[in-house]
Chain A
């Protein structure tokens, strides 16, 4: 017993040593964000720079919230991401159910279509998307982002959902139908409750994708009150003569935390999700 323990300890030391350079590089920007955000303003621009602030100014976060109009951008991001996720799920769940449960003629061509849409990113189509938004009269409107994010997330969502739906036994809905439940009852009362974990994971991915999108928001949104978080924070940096870096870092940290927490929680599910079908 003691021999295997020491073996594992040795291995642990080796593993952590081997990973340490990359871990330092990964944690470096987080340290920069954290410490810069807590420095007094004049210390941000002092040479040579130091890691630790002379005093921790938590007030910076409150000042940042007002100075950067953070709350407004946060609401816009929440609105866009929630709406895009909702629409994506509404259209993706039935489609994924069809792909997981039925064999039909157009099935393989539909999967190919999804694959192609999955490969396209908004930047390649940006001029055409811009024209579409102009045509819809939605320039400078967050609703244009909702529509387009939903459209671009469909393929991934269907793919992910159908992989999980495969694992739910078909007998369950079928026995409900045999007992006289209607088609919809069978689905909503029996199938959907079983599918909740899969739907939740897919929803979170769609949400994070929409939360992080940059190019389209940069192109479409024109006035500050409509900015989403990435654009709001970017606008504090791009094209400014003086940049209030302590505010920018505070904003970046606050904007990043929710997704980071979601992600570390999802991480395990992600490995199983991707390996159980998406990739194989």
Chain B
């Protein structure tokens, strides 16, 4: 057996991944330290000037803070809803298969499509959301949801939660299925009620899966672009911008390639920190 065989086997995948990910990363580092014109021509090295520019830009600071709110709210909301949903889906009841399929549906539709359909549903005049809410008497007059950040951003957060739930309950269902049923039977014998069973058995044993879901969701949500882009493009007045939409506008609307690259590098660093968390978690679980 050739000793190098495993290396030959991984080589093609390594080369492709390196090419598609490392070259752009190298370019980004270069560009973030350069004076670049709007057509992407590099005019020279300028050190950290692009970074000072973005850190002095109030829109960047606002977008960064909003990204924190966005990430914490979406991930927090997702976990909060997903735990009880997963617990319910893990109990046996009639039609469980159908319920599971329905709850997975948001995952099956691409984010841009979901966002497009919601953009229409949220239309102030003709949207079905206002019509439905007025029919059931929850609101008296139509709300123009996407025209003001005070309603647009919470709606986007809600949508973010909705589309993150399927992935999260999938992780939790995997975790729940590994909890031995005897534990619950023993607890019932000892007279534990449902809440005590959850607190003493389900929650502690689900904890590693919750941690994993938090880290993975933070990474996905932090990077999530289509919901905000399709619904408001970060508007009105940049009031729903998060870092990814700010980055995209800097690069492809204003032609600020150097500054956009600096934003990318900042985001990459944040992601790297989370990846290290994740890697540690995976390695720990593997042991």
Q: Which chain A residue has the least Cβ–Cβ distance from B162?
A: A25
Q: Does A58 contact B (CB under 8 A)?
A: no
Contacts of A25 in B (CB 8 A): 162
Given A115-B282, A127-B28, A147-B20: A49 in contact with B113 (beta carbons within 8 A): no
Cβ-defined contact, B27 with A116, below 8 A: no
> How many interface contacts (CB-CB < 8 Å) are there between A and B?
285
Contacts of B26 in A (CB 8 A): 128
Q: Does B195 contact A (CB under 8 A)?
A: no
Q: Does A172 contact B (CB under 8 A)?
A: no
Q: What's the Cα separation between A270 and B107 when bound, in Å?
A: 12
Contact of A132 among B24, B128, B165, B171 (CB under 8 A): B24
Interface residues of A in 39-80 (CB under 8 A from B): 44-51
B126 to chain A, nearest CB (A): 5
Cβ-defined contact, A16 with B21, below 8 A: no
Q: What's the Cα separation between A274 and B162 when bound, in Å?
A: 20
Q: Does B33 contact A (CB under 8 A)?
A: no
- Of the four ranges (under 10, 10 to 19, 20 to 34, 35 or more), the interface on chain A belongs to 35 or more
Q: Which chain A residue has the least Cβ–Cβ distance from B129?
A: A28
A259 to chain B, nearest CB (A): 5
- Of the four ranges (under 10, 10 to 19, 20 to 34, 35 or more), the interface on chain B belongs to 35 or more
Given A124-B264, A212-B110, A267-B104: A12 in contact with B247 (beta carbons within 8 A): no
Instruction: Add 9 more A-B contacts to A9-B94, A22-B103, A127-B264 (CB < 8 A).
Output: A26-B102, A46-B126, A98-B6, A110-B10, A124-B244, A127-B260, A154-B17, A215-B226, A263-B107
Chain B: residues with CB nearer than 8 A to chain A? 5-10, 12-14, 16-17, 19-21, 23-28, 31, 40, 81, 84-85, 88, 91-96, 99-114, 116-121, 125-129, 131-132, 134, 162, 165, 170-171, 173-175, 177-178, 209, 212, 219-220, 223, 225-226, 230, 233, 244, 247-248, 251-252, 257, 260-261, 264, 267-268, 271-272, 274-275, 278-279, 282, 285-286
Can you list 5 pairs linking A and B with CB atoms under 8 Å apart? Answer: A12-B93, A23-B99, A117-B21, A212-B113, A262-B108
